[in-house]
Homo-oligomer: A and B are copies of this chain.
Amino acid sequence: MRIVVLAGGIGGARFLRGLKRAVPDADITVIGNTGDDIHLFGLKVCPDLDTVMYTLGDGIDEERGWGRTDESFRLKEELAAYGVGPGWFGLGDRDFATHIVRTQMLAAGYPLSAVTEALCDRWQPGVRLIPMTDDRVETHVAVTLPDDDPAAGPSAGSGTGRTPPDSGTRKVIHFQEYWVRLRASVPAEAVVPVGAEQAKPAPGVLEAIAAADVILFPPSNPVVSIGTILAVPGIREAIAEAGVPVVGLSPIVGNAPVRGMADKVLAAVGVESTAWAVAEHYGSGLLDGWLVDTVDAAGVERIEEAGIRCRAVPLMMTDVDATARMARQALALAEEVRAV
């Protein structure tokens, strides 16, 4: 069975671990989000690709969900001692090696897809991991920073001792700054995958989709993870036209994200944080099946009315076995769809 999975970071990576357990012999291709890639200290950092690679290659810090196990942060402390930031992005001493190797290979002219393949030679994730594109796409977020934010400029209100009602500084910031530095503490007014319109799918992406038996959307962020992958021209169309079941798992359980802050970026695209609203956001033109958690069983009917086959099952990835059960449910739903 050939399975294509669109994956963001932690949610996608953990789902993939369950999927591998559920169908060890499946041929799995992962199309990874690169919209949250960032250049730091002259290095190209691909957080989502690395999270998938480290998680499936048994190199992940399980507790944090990102970065390397048994990690230290001495290099970063030294950079801070030089006054070089940003300090808010966690790059560990061991993790740095991945970014150094990647940056050197990119500088030597290899495309990101080839670099990712080379890095996976070490990690042996047991899936084929392809970045959504070899082109540069960076998700930016429009926000209004409070006047006391260090990144906010001087505002009309500063110095008067009174904060005007329309205070704050409007700014477009990198997704990582929004997500990691600000912890999504201010509303995302817009989310823009800069460069996506000009990007081409990386070699192998469209081929994998065309050859897939099943396409899965893990419980990843529907806006900044899966949404960014779908924003690369050709990918959404290829999935819609693949003629195979496309099944997703809701990242929203009981009107809140299972983890992360998906609600913050869903609001930016006018989607409420419910399992059914996310399904409708993908739409029946793309999605054939949708798993919601048992606590959201009341929404099943509404989703099915929207033309998307839906089942309510436990969706908490508490451990690999529970996640494997979710993966089996998703594949079972795909077979139901196929049988129609």
A contact set with B: CB distance below 8 Å = 41-43, 72, 74-79, 81-84, 93-94, 96-98, 100-101, 103-104, 107, 119, 122
Is A103 within 8 A of B72, CB to CB? no
Cβ contact within 8 Å between B78 and A94: yes
Least Cβ–Cβ distance between A161 and chain B, in angstroms: 35
Residues of chain B contacted by A101 (CB below 8 angstroms): 79, 82, 84
Distance of A79 from chain B, by nearest CB (Å): 5
CB distance from A103 to the nearest CB of B (A): 6
* CB <8 Å contact, B122 and A81: yes
Establish whether residues B72 and A100, one from each chain, have CB atoms under 8 Å apart when the complex forms. Answer: no
Could you say which residues of chain B place their CB within 8 Å of the CB of A77?
94
- Which residue in B93, B107, B119 is a CB contact (below 8 Å) of A75? B93
Distance, CA A214 to CA B94, complexed state (A)? 47
Q: Nearest chain B CB to A256's CB is how many angstroms away?
A: 37
Contact of A72 among B43, B93, B104 (CB under 8 A): B93
A101 to B85, CA, bound (A): 10
Count copies of this chain in the complex. 2
The reply to whether B79 and A97 form a contact with Cβ atoms under 8 Å apart is yes
A107 to B39, CA, bound (A): 13
- In the bound complex, what is the Cα–Cα distance between A41 and B108 (angstroms)? 11
In the complex where A74-B72, A75-B75, A97-B75 touch, is A82 in contact with B122 (Cβ < 8 A)? Answer: yes
Q: How far is the CA of A78 from the CA of B76 in the complex (A)?
A: 16
Is B93 within 8 A of A42, CB to CB? no
Smallest beta-carbon distance A225→chain B, Å: 26
Residue of B nearest to A42 (CB): B104
* A82→B104 contact, CB < 8 A: no
How far, in Å, is A33 (CB) from chain B's closest CB?
A: 23
| Complex: A107 Cα to B94 Cα, angstroms | 24
Q: List 22 A-B contacts (CB under 8 A).
A: A41-B100, A41-B104, A42-B100, A42-B107, A72-B74, A72-B93, A74-B93, A74-B94, A75-B96, A75-B100, A76-B97, A78-B94, A78-B96, A78-B98, A79-B97, A79-B101, A82-B97, A82-B98, A82-B101, A82-B119, A93-B93, A96-B96
A53 to chain B: closest CB distance in Å? Answer: 12
- Docked pose: A326 CA to B277 CA in angstroms: 80
Set of chain B residues within 8 Å of A41, measured between Cβ atoms: 100, 104
Chain B residues with CB under 8 Å of A93's CB are 72, 74-75, 78, 93
Q: How far is the CA of A107 from the CA of B103 in the complex (A)?
A: 14
Which chain B residue lies CB-closest to A100? B41
Q: Which residue of B is nearest A81, CB measured?
A: B122
Please, which residues of chain B bring their CB within 8 A of the CB of A83? Answer: 122
A161 to B62 Cα, complex, angstroms: 53
- In angstroms, Cα B103 to Cα A263, docked, is 39
Q: How far is the CA of A274 from the CA of B93 in the complex (A)?
A: 45
Whole-angstrom CA separation of A104 from B42 in the bound complex:
6
